Structure 1
């Protein structure tokens, strides 16, 4: 058996674990998660499990966050101890991205029904440490307590913008895949039947041309996996091949050129490839999701460089960061952001920053009122100096159209 076939088999088996269904012969005793947990006590929305959290969850998880559906009900996220707060924030933002309205699109114009469906059904995200942690008796008990309405995402398959892992494009970021499965299973399938029909039709057409769905014994799951094959490539996550999968190093044979998902998706490894070679899949995505990432990543305080969100051959991460729209710097390093053709919004840190908006209608946001800044224009750039030390520093702006202060927005 060829090595590539072996790798595909391993991938299919591992994916089947994440999609395991609860034994229908078992009628679990359901244990609800408290609905009124206050996450506002921490600015990042990540909190320790509250004292009234049932013990079945305390035995497995240490932290909590949530996304509120439009109907006022929470979509719970339980977090194991192997997750950093930054990872948990990223995972939550990916969920929010999928649930953010895409005005003018056929199926994503108003996603309130999708979000409400997830909340009403009691779907819960488990931010688990790894595959092994999902197999423990304590984790199985937690799943049973929720009637199996759970989607797992692992700490060793998510990467945070601006981190060393992200900048060097090491880990295959599966957060987009696993969290979409959650939205698909508990939202799209339930309230968007016409869209689901289109997803199924696109998958069948792709299968006729060589797409290999998984798990092999669950053909009903093939459209779910097909969708994320398309969307991963729509975000260029395989254009530059990942180096690590589930904490293990990958070889070139395991990530063949021009393909993705270990060869299961044979048509493309980039957005342009999908556009050219899988027109049904490309149209399927754009009927629900925008062409850019809707959330604003906050780069880690350790970041000390210029972060690019337009493609640059010298910076490997830009094949994926090029779809970001807005970025925030944190900490106090003298860092910067290089924009793209979208309408960017940049927020600086307390260091001296440089911002280049490139094209589009771009905004840089400052913390204080206009009266507390000195603005100096020179040929080709604008300098904005904060008169309060330790707040916004001295920032140099190029190709920036607007500056937003706490009390007003001015055009440059």
Structure 2
């Protein structure tokens, strides 16, 4: 939720998200964090509110996140929290009244959804579309498909080479969206949503080894982790972080931690700060960015290690 509601300075609809935040509160939005899975047996769903189940929540570095098993533990947290924000914060048209804060943005979402459905870029079997139409939730489900593809949540899915959302959306990745669903891609273009994940990802204490922020086609979870830029290693196991091209903030745990870079040490500046942090800046453009390291024992470069 904090990721979605973090201001996006200079954007068309997200420069100041306080109106959206206040609408969520004023409209009495409820997020239900429920045990188990969405199998129809949890009576708490009758309480009203947006459900999010235990088996739909992944923790960065945890087994569910690393293994990316879509059948048992698909990460639905982005989708379900988005639904709540969309319904009660952004707002949905074609109801008896518009209770949200962003009718202009919703109009763009509706236009993109209508085009995607008509052009068979998004959808599903007709019974599902009929159900969504009756609920007036077409735009919510469409936007969730766009968001999931945009943040790489379906990149590792082996069920289709070209589609995401169980085959219901024409793009699996951000790059594919720009050509396959240009109106959907435009919804992400400095409108409301950040291009990276704004929250601090606390890497699960069970993780050991190299947690990669850098996209690697052979490591499924990096379809998603490539958009992280603020991570904290937790616990005491020796674990490391491989940087991406963003300006990262990386905090170590009580074990021995390394941060790994792409180039030779001579291609970076290393500056120790008064607060104990170290700032490592890649002097090669569009490669490793500017990384602020706290509680990290060493930096690993191509051919050398530097003790921090």
- Cα 1:355/1:278, change in 2 over 3 Å: same
The 4+ residue runs of structure 1 with deviation greater than 4 A are: 132-135, 361-366
Name the counterpart of 2:3: 97
Cα offsets for 1:349-377 (capped at 9, x unmatched): 11121113559x999999x954xx99xxx
Aligned partners of 1:313, 1:112: CA distance in 2, in Å?
38
Q: Which residue, 144, 153, 170 being the options, matches 1:228?
A: 144
1:206 aligns with 2:116: yes
SS of the residue aligned with 1:203?
A: helix
Q: How does 1:38-77 map to 2 (within 5 A)?
A: none
Name the counterpart of 1:298: 202
Name the counterpart of 2:177: 274
SS of the residue aligned with 1:307?
A: strand
**8 Å contact 1:344–1:357 — kept in the other structure?**
no
Name the counterpart of 1:166: 65
Q: Which residue, 194, 197, 218 being the options, matches 2:104?
A: 194
Cα offsets for 1:42-90 (capped at 9, x unmatched): xxxxxxxxxxxxxxxxxxxxxxxxxxxxxxxxxxxxxxxxxxxxxxxxx
SS of the residue aligned with 1:216?
A: helix
**8 Å contact 2:20–2:90 — kept in the other structure?**
yes
SS of the residue aligned with 2:112?
A: helix
1:131 aligns with 2:34: no
- Cα 1:161/1:365, change in 2 over 3 Å: farther
Higher RCO (CA 8 Å, separation ≥ 6 residues): 2
Instruction: In structure 2, list runs of 5 or more residues that go unmatched.
Output: 92-99, 279-293, 302-307
SS of the residue aligned with 1:202?
A: helix
When normalised by structure 1's length, the TM-score is 0.59
- Cα 1:344/1:363, change in 2 over 3 Å: farther
Aligned partners of 1:364, 1:166: CA distance in 2, in Å?
33
Instruction: In structure 1, list runs of 5 or more residues that go unmatched.
Output: 1-94, 242-251, 375-390, 400-411
- Cα 1:238/1:132, change in 2 over 3 Å: closer
- Cα 1:365/1:102, change in 2 over 3 Å: farther
- Cα 1:337/1:216, change in 2 over 3 Å: same
1:264, CA displacement in angstroms? 1.8
| Count of aligned positions | 265
Q: Which has the larger radius of gyration?
A: 1
Name the counterpart of 1:15: none
CA RMSD of aligned residues (A): 2.9
1:182, CA displacement in angstroms? 0.2
1:280, CA displacement in angstroms? 0.6
When normalised by structure 2's length, the TM-score is 0.78
1:276, CA displacement in angstroms? 1.4
SS of the residue aligned with 1:104?
A: coil
1:304, CA displacement in angstroms? 1.1
Aligned partners of 2:270, 2:249: CA distance in 1, in Å?
5
SS of the residue aligned with 1:182?
A: helix
